[in-house]
Amino acid sequence: MAIDDVAPRTGRVGYDGSRFGIGGLFLKTMLLSLLTLGIYNFWGRTQIRRAVWGATSVDGEPFEYTGTGKELFFGFLKAIAILIGVGAVLFGITFVMARLLRSGMVLQLAPLAFYLILSVLAVAAVYLATRYRLSRTLWRGIRFGLDGGSWSFVKGTIGYSLLAVATLGICLPLLRTWQARTIVNNARYGTVPFRMEARGATLIWPWVLTMLLAAPTLGVMLVWYRVREFRTWSSSISVAGLKLDSRLRLGDVLGPVILLAVITVVFFVALLLPTIFDFLEAWRTRMPPQHASTLSIVGIWIYVALAPTISFIVLGHPVLKASCETMAIGGALDLEAVAQSSDAGPRTGEGLFALLDGGGL
């Protein structure tokens, strides 16, 4: 349903963040995290979120992020304790079984079992991290929230993942759309629930086309699909009498994507040239190749450290701005239906998600 079909028209989403101001926060977080052995990262990430949330608005009313670095830090410590506990219990069980069965093969299965458990925990961490972030997000003083259980999210993800594998990836849109719909339909603004009606079946043929043409188009089709996916998801979301309608197009994001790809390729080619020349010379002279040059190794580490800053400045900022400015809102906000929820959310934040390198803000 187009936004023009919904009356009265309410407004649009806006984003007025500073590309280099927020990019500077990424750089500051990286530098101070190195100096503090990663401890500052939790406070730096909080600063970044407050800047991004505050720069994003609906009808001129900005969002507010109320999370703290302390919550993230203690959540991280809690996650470490959980993983240590899981590892200790798993090792104890396998050790006892190995003694009882008189077989060392059981001990060799312990790492595999641990990685399987980590995979399950990683899926649960996505849901729990979303719950924390929503509980620390306010608009007009009303807190967002996320209900439902992470275990149901894990079970559904496992089922749809097996389906995607069995169909050689063709049914991947069913998995991704189910995950998005589950999270959105369990989310709420105050006491008012969100509603998402998108179905992954509508994205299967675009995804099949993307798989066929991704290589010939050098990945452009992957960008096209993600834009279409975002538009399909967003335009099926409603809450408290409001309905979203995304008009994002490939041309709105393709330029920044290509620019980031070019910067990355040029940087790595420049860094690896000495090593490439060494291998070519070794091949020509039939001599053993030398080790990779120190310059190449140091340069790659520097780029990895700067990647979040570069990614936000080149890609994150323009894509976020385009996504917001092409998002229209229709309908009338039912203020009488919205009330503050008594659920303040978890006390600590997304430690497991951060420990398993979930990425993002």
What's residue 6's pLDDT? 42
Contacts of 157 (CB under 8 A, 6+ apart): 123, 175, 178, 179
What's residue 1's pLDDT? 40
Q: Per-residue pLDDT averaged across 21-42, rounded?
A: 95
Q: What is the pLDDT of residues 220-245, one digit of tens each?
A: 999 999 999 999 999 999 998 889 99
DSSP for residue 13:
E
User: Average pLDDT over the chain, rounded to whole?
Assistant: 87
User: What confidence tier does 3 reach under pLDDT thresholds 50, 70, 90?
Assistant: very low
The number of beta carbons lying within 10 Å of the beta carbon of residue 136 is 23
- 79, 352 Cβ separation under 8 angstroms: yes
Please name which of 145, 126, 328 lies closest in space to residue 238, comparing C-alpha atoms.
328
Q: What phi and psi values does residue 9 have, to the nearest 5 degrees?
A: -75, 135
What's residue 2's pLDDT? 43
Q: What is the pLDDT of residues 38-86, one digit of tens each?
A: 999 999 999 999 999 999 999 899 999 999 999 999 988 888 888 888 8
Q: What is the pLDDT of residues 135-186, one digit of tens each?
A: 999 999 999 999 998 999 999 999 999 999 999 999 999 999 999 999 999 9
Contacts of 303 (CB under 8 A, 6+ apart): 264, 267, 268, 271, 310
H/E segment holding residue 132 = helix 105-135
Handedness of CA 232, 361, 153, 347 (dihedral sign): negative
Note the pTM of the prediction, 2 decimals.
0.87
User: What confidence tier does 353 reach under pLDDT thresholds 50, 70, 90?
Assistant: low
- Where do we find the tokens 């997000």? 137
User: What confidence tier does 33 reach under pLDDT thresholds 50, 70, 90?
Assistant: very high
The number of beta carbons lying within 10 Å of the beta carbon of residue 81 is 11
Torsion, Cα 213 214 219 222, to 10 degrees, reads 100
Helix, strand or coil for residue 191? Answer: coil
